[in-house]
Structure 1
C-alpha cells in the first residue's frame, strides 16, 4: 500500500484529497493543527498527526513520527493561510508570520522527507500553489508573495531532483470551495489596522464585505473534489507533468501573463 503525507487536512483541498486518496487505496497520513480535526480524521480510519508549519519543533516532530510509521511514497504540501489587506498596511511581523507557515514550514518539512525519498530511490512531492502564484490581485499581497516564492522554489527543486527518482510537481488551482476566506479573518484582525489606513473607505466598500458578509461561490469556482482528483492524477501518473492547472482563471492567467503587456494585466487585476 502506498503512503502519502498530506498537510492541511482540516478542510478544503487537503481534506478532500485525503478522503479521495484513501478511497483510491492510499494509506493517508493526514496532518491538522486542531485536536478535533485530528480526531475526525482518525474516525475516518486515517493516520493523523498534529502539525503547525509555523513551529519548527512541530515540523520536526511530525516528520519523525510520520517516518516512524513506515515508508512514505509521496508528500502533498497543501497547508496555507491567507492574510488579506493592502500591501501598505501589512506589517513586517504579519508578512513574516504568513511566510513561516506557507513557505518556510513547507520547505522544512520537504527537506526532512527528501533523504527518505533518496534512500528509496523514488518519491513524489506535490506543492499546491494557486492562480495567485501566477498573477497578483489587490488585497492579496501577502498570500501572493508566498505563492510566487513557492513556485520559484518548486521550479528549482524540480530541476535539481532530476535523476534522483523524485518527481516535484506544482498544482495551480484557481477558485476552489474551501474555508480559506473565513480562516483568514483572525489573521486580518490581528495584523491589519484597516481603520487607520488611508484606504479605510475601500476596505468598507470591498474587502470587509467579502470577508464578513455571506455570499455565493466565486465565478468559475470548483469543488475541492476537482483539486483532489488532480492531485491523485499527479501522484499516480507514470510520467507526471511539472504543472497541473485547475479552473479557467488559472488557464487564463497563464495565457495572459505570456501574451499581454503589463498594463493590460494590471487592468484585469484591478477589475478582479
Structure 2
C-alpha cells in the first residue's frame, strides 16, 4: 500500500521541495498552497495539490475533504509546514501582527491536526510531523513573533505526543536552523508592512536586519539545502518508532546543547549578538 502524505506550505522552500522529492520516490503526495496559481504550478508538475489558507477554517476543511477524496478517506502522514516569519522588536509590533503570526503558524495547524486525528485513530495508524525551528528552542531578538509561535508549537506538540502516547499515532518535531528558501524575502515584506522604521528606537539595528533579509545569498555559513529536512522526514515516514525530535543544521545542535548547559545570563549574551 502506497503511503499517503499531506504537506502544507508547498509554494516554495521546504514544503515545495519535499513534496516533489517524495512524489518522485513513489509516495502519494498531496501538497497544499495558499495561492491558486501555486496550486496550478504543482499540478503541472504531476502532483496532487489543493488550495489551503491556514488562516481560514473553511479553507482548511475544504482542503482536507479534497485530500480524503484523493486518498480514499485515509491519511498516513500529515506534515505541518506552512509558516512565515514576522520580524521586528516586540514593542514595535501591532498586536494584530502577532495574532496573524499565530493564526498561520499555530492555530491553522491545530485546526488541521484536530481534524486529522479521528481519521488516524479510526484507521489504526498515522504520523503527524511538525516543522518547528531552532527558534523554538532559543530566542533571538527582532524575531519575537516567530519565536513565540515556535515556542508555542513546541509545547503544543509535546502535549499532543503525551495525549496520543497510547494510540497508534506518532508525533514528531523537525527543528531546522537556516535552510535555503524564500523565508527571508517573505519576512522582509512582513517587516515593511508592520514596522515603522523611523519611529523606532531600534532603527539603527533594523538596518542590519533589513540587510540580512535582503540578501540573495545564504544568511549563514551553516545554511543547508531543503534536502537536509527531507532526510529526517523520510526517516520518520519509514520508521516504526520515530524519535520525538530531529535536529537539522549545526546551529540547532549547538543551541540545543547550550540551552541545556549554560545559565540564562550567559546564553543571553551569546544570543544578543544576532540582529
After superposition, the Cα gap between the structure-2 partners of 1:229 and 1:99, relative to the gap in structure 1 and judged at 3 Å, is: same
Please give the per-residue CA displacement for 1:121-173, whole angstroms capped at 9, x wherever unaligned: 11000000000000001111100000000000000001111121000000011
Alignment partner, residue 225 of structure 1: 227
Q: Is the 8 A contact 1:129 1:170 kept in 2?
A: yes
Alignment partner, residue 21 of structure 1: 22
After superposition, the Cα gap between the structure-2 partners of 1:215 and 1:19, relative to the gap in structure 1 and judged at 3 Å, is: closer
TM-score normalized by the length of structure 2: 0.96
Q: Distance in 1 between matches of 2:189 and 2:55?
A: 16
Shift of 1:217: 4.1
What are the residue-to-residue correspondences of 1:150-189 with 2, within 5 Å? 150-189=153-192
Q: Distance in 2 between matches of 1:38 and 1:134?
A: 32
Alignment partner, residue 258 of structure 1: 260
Q: Distance in 2 between matches of 1:215 and 1:12?
A: 15
After superposition, the Cα gap between the structure-2 partners of 1:214 and 1:20, relative to the gap in structure 1 and judged at 3 Å, is: closer
Q: Distance in 1 between matches of 2:151 and 2:130?
A: 12
Give the paired residue count.
Answer: 271
Alignment partner, residue 56 of structure 1: 57
Alignment partner, residue 108 of structure 1: 111
- Pairing partner for 1:141 from 134, 141, 144: 144
Structure 2 residue 9 is matched with structure 1 residue 8: yes
Please give the per-residue CA displacement for 1:68-105, whole angstroms capped at 9, x wherever unaligned: 22221110001100001111101100000010000000
Indicate the SS of the match to 1:81: coil
Q: Is the 8 A contact 2:188 2:210 kept in 1?
A: no
Q: Is the 8 A contact 1:20 1:229 kept in 2?
A: no
Gaps of 5+ in 2: none
Q: Distance in 2 between matches of 1:57 and 1:216?
A: 37
Structure 2 residue 79 is matched with structure 1 residue 84: no
Alignment partner, residue 35 of structure 1: 36
Q: Is the 8 A contact 1:17 1:229 kept in 2?
A: no
Q: Distance in 2 between matches of 1:216 and 1:103?
A: 27
Q: Which has the higher contact order (CA 8 A, sep 6+)?
A: 1
TM-score normalized by the length of structure 1: 0.97
Q: Distance in 1 between matches of 2:270 and 2:255?
A: 10
Gaps of 5+ in 1: none
Worse-matched range after superposition: 21-30 or 74-83: 21-30
Indicate the SS of the match to 1:232: helix
Shift of 1:208: 1.7
Please give the per-residue CA displacement for 1:191-246, whole angstroms capped at 9, x wherever unaligned: 11122111112212x11212234444412111001111211111111210000001
Worse-matched range after superposition: 49-58 or 124-133: 49-58
Worse-matched range after superposition: 233-242 or 92-101: 233-242
Indicate the SS of the match to 1:167: strand
